[in-house]
Structure 1
Amino acid sequence: MHPALAKGGVAVITGGASGIGLAAARHLARQGMRVCLADLGAERLEAAKAALVAQGAARDAVMTVPTDIGDRAQIVALADRVGADWGAVNLVMNNAGMQPGSSIFDAEGNWERILNVNMLGIIRGSQIFAPRMIASGQPGLIVNTGSKQGITTPPGDPAYNLSKAGVKVFTEALQHALRNMPDCDVEARLFIPGFVYTPLTAAGRNEKPAEAWTADQVVDFLFASVGRGDFYILCPDNEVDRRTDEKRILWSAGDIAENRPPLSRWHPEYGELFKEWLKA
C-alpha cells in the first residue's frame, strides 16, 4: 500500500458525490482514511456521506464541501477548510469532470466550461494542494483522472479530448517536477479509466452494459496499480484488454512518426490497415 494511504490519513476527492469518486471514497474509508468529498450540490454530497456512514464509516471521518472546481477561489476554499479541520492532506484525487458533448466549432457553447472543469480544475487542484502537501513533510499522492480519449483522441468530442490530453501532459510534468524536488515525499499518478458505468456514462441506461466495469472494479484496479508504483494507470474493461489499448496508443503515435494523416485509424485509406495491424 502506498504510504499516503495509511489509516488516519486525509483524502480529498473531487467529483466525490457519485461514480468513481464515491467508489474511491468507499475504498479509502474502509482502509480507515478520513475522506473529504467535494462536488456540486449540497444534497448530493449529504446523500453520499450518508451512504458512506451506512457502510461503516465514522460520521466525523467524512467531510463534505460543495465545490465548483471550475472556480479557483472555491478550490482554495476547499483546501483551507480541510487544512483547518483536519490538517495535512495525504491524497488528492482530482476526479471531477463533465462530458456534455462538443463539436469542432463549438456549436453547443460547451468548450469553455469543459476546459475550465476537466483540465483547469485538475491543474488548479494540483497547484493549490501540492505545495501544502510538500510543506507538511508527510507522504502525499495526487491522482489525476485522465481518459484514453486524451491519448488516442478519437473523433466526435474534441473539447473533451483536448481537456484530457491536457491532463495527461500536466500530470507527466507534475510527476517529473515532484521527483526532482529535494526532500519531497509527494508523488503524482495519471488515472486512465476504461469504460466504466457511472452517471457520467450511463446515457439514459438503467443497467450496466456488459462491456463496462463498475466504479468499484476500476477503483480496485487504481489502488492496486498505485501499490505497484505505476504512473500510467491504464485500466481495461470487459471489452478492451491491455494489449488492444497498447496497440491503439502505438498506432496514434505512429501517425506522427510515419507522417500519416491525423486520426488515421478513422481515415478511409488507413482504416483497414489499422484493423489488420491490430490483429497481427
Structure 2
Amino acid sequence: MSAPKVAVVTGASSGIGRALALACAREGMAVVAADIEAEALAQTQALVEAAGAACMMQRCDVSNAADVELLAEASWGRWGGVDWLFNNAGVAVLGTAWDATDDDWRWVLGVNLMGVVHGVRSFLPRMQARGMPAHIVNTSSAAGLATIAGSAVYCASKHAVIAFSECLAKDLEQAGSPIGVSVLCPSLVATHIDQSQRNRPAALPEVGPTAAAYGERVRAGMAASAITAEDVARVAVDAIHARRFYVIPHAHTGASVRDRTQKIMGDFHHIHQESLQ
C-alpha cells in the first residue's frame, strides 16, 4: 500500500484550521495538525481520526521560527514529506490605528505574517528537494484585499500576506518549480478569532484602549455570515486542485475590492490629468 499524501495545517485547533484538517482527511490525506492550544488540538486530532485519516498533532507557536522548524522536522520524520501546507494560524487585534500598541503590532505581525514566512522557509526547501508537485496555501483575509475602520493592525498584516504570497508565486514560477501557491481570503465566518486574546502571550500585555469597542461589530458579522468554515475549506481544496491563486469564498468581497480599486484608479487619473494640463 502506498503512503498517503500529507497535509500540514497550522491554527488547526478550531475554525477554518480545523475545517481544513477535516477537508484534507476527506481527501484521503494524512494530517499534521499544529496549534498553540494543545487541548483543542487534541479534539481536532480525534475528529480527523474519526474521519478515517491518520493524524499527528504538534503544539507550535508559528511566531517562533524554531517551533516551525521543529514542526517541519517532525512532519518529515513521520511521513517523509509534505504535499500540502496550510499556513493558516491567525489572530486579530481591533481598535483605531493610533491606539495600537507596540505589543499589538508584535503579536499580530508575529503570528499572521511571520507565521507564514516561517512556514515557507522551513517547509518549502524540503518540498523543493523532493522534486514533486506540492501546494502551499497562505491564509490572508478579505481584510488583505480591502480595508475597514478599526482594523489597521489586522489589515496591515493580511495585506502583507497577500504581497508575500504573490511574490512567492512569482519566484516559484520563475524557478520552474512544481510547487503551487494559493492565498485564502475569507471574510467573516463563525470562528474564535474574536477571542484571539486568549492566546496572547503574557510577555505582550499592553492592549490598545479602543480594542474592545470594535468586538461587537466582528461578532455580528460572524453571526450573519452564510458562509461557514467548512465552506471556506472546501473552496480552498478546490483551488488547490485547480491551481488557482486567489481563493475568495465570499461573493461580497468582490464589491470591496472593486470599490478600493476604483478609488485608486480615480485618484491616479485625476493626478495624471492635472499633470497634462
Same fold, TM-score > 0.5, yes or no: yes
2:39 counterpart residue number: 43
Matching residue within 64, 71, 84 for 1:78: 71
Aligned residue for 2:12?
16
Supply the AA of the counterpart residue of 2:172. L
Equivalent residues in 2 for 1:134-153, closer than 5 Å: 134-153=128-147
Distance 1:255 1:119 in 2: 30
* Inter-CA distance 254–18: structure 2 relative to 1 (3 Å threshold): same
Q: Where in structure 2 are the equivalents of 1:222-233 lying within 5 Å?
A: 222-233=236-247
Q: Distance in 2 between matches of 1:49 and 1:26?
A: 9
The 8 Å contact of residues 102 and 110 in structure 1, kept in 2 or not, is answered as no
Name the CA distance, whole Å, in 1 between partners of 2:145 and 2:270.
18
Deviation at 1:208, TM superposition (A): 6.2
Matched, 1:156 2:142: no
> Is 1:110–2:104 an aligned residue pair?
yes
Q: Does structure 2 conserve the Cα–Cα contact (< 8 Å) formed by 1:8 and 1:34?
A: yes
Alpha carbons 1:69, 1:121 under 8 Å: kept: yes
Asked whether the 8 Å contact 2:189–2:223 carries over to 1, the reply is no
The number of equivalent residue pairs is 248
- 1:91 is aligned to 84
Q: Name the structure 2 match of 1:257.
A: 268
TM-score by length of 2: 0.82
1:249/1:212 Cα in 2 relative to 1: closer, same or farther (>3 Å)? farther
Q: Secondary structure at the match of 2:43?
A: helix
Q: What displacement does 1:241 show?
A: 6.2
Q: C-alpha displacement at 1:153, in angstroms?
A: 2.1
**Distance in 1, Cα, partners of 2:97 & 2:227:** 30
Identity score, percent: 32
Moved more, 208-217 or 198-207: 198-207
Distance 1:64 1:255, change over 3 A: farther
Q: Secondary structure of 2:190's partner?
A: coil
Relative to structure 1, the CA distance from residue 206 to residue 159 in structure 2 (aligned partners, 3 Å threshold; closer, same or farther) is closer
Q: Distance in 1 between matches of 2:142 and 2:239?
A: 17
Cα distance, 1:150 vs. partner?
1.8
Instruction: Please show how residues 227-242 of structure 1 align to structure 2 within 5 Å.
Output: 227-236=241-250, 240=252, 242=254
Q: Which runs of 4+ in 1 moved over 3 A?
A: 105-109, 201-208
Q: Judge conservation of contact 1:190–1:231 (CA < 8 Å) in 2.
A: yes
8 Å contact from structure 2 (residues 188, 221) kept in 1? no
Matches of 1:35 and 1:23, distance apart in 2: 12
Structure number having the greater helix percentage: 2
Correspondent of 1:248 among 210, 235, 259? 259
Partner of 2:233: 219
Higher relative contact order (CA 8 A, sep 6+): 2
3-state SS of the aligned residue for 1:35? strand
How far the C-alpha of 1:255 sits from its partner, in A, is 5.8
| TM-score normalised per structure 1 | 0.81
> C-alpha distance in 2, partners of 1:24/1:196?
14
Instruction: Name the CA distance, whole Å, in 1 between partners of 2:96 and 2:73.
Output: 37
Q: Is the 8 A contact 1:152 1:252 kept in 2?
A: no
Q: Which of residues 178, 182, 195 in structure 2 aligns to 1:185? A: 178
One-letter code aligned to 2:38: A
What is the rounded CA distance, in whole Å, between the counterparts of 1:236 and 1:186 in structure 2?
26
Partners of 2:237 and 2:190 in 1: CA distance: 18
Equivalent of 2:127, from 128, 133, 149? 133
After superposition, the C-alpha distances for 1:110-168 in whole angstroms (9 at most, x for unaligned) are 11111111111111211221111011112110000111212222221111111111101
Secondary structure (helix, strand or coil) at the match of 2:193 reads coil
Structure 1 segments unaligned to the other structure (5+ residues) = 1-5, 261-280
Contact (CA 8 Å) 2:188, 2:222: kept in 1 or not?
no
Label 1:73 to 1:186 Cα distance change in 2 as closer, same or farther (>3 A): same
Taking a change above 3 Å as real, the CA distance of residues 252 and 47 of structure 1, as seen in their structure-2 partners, is: farther
SS at match of 1:105: helix
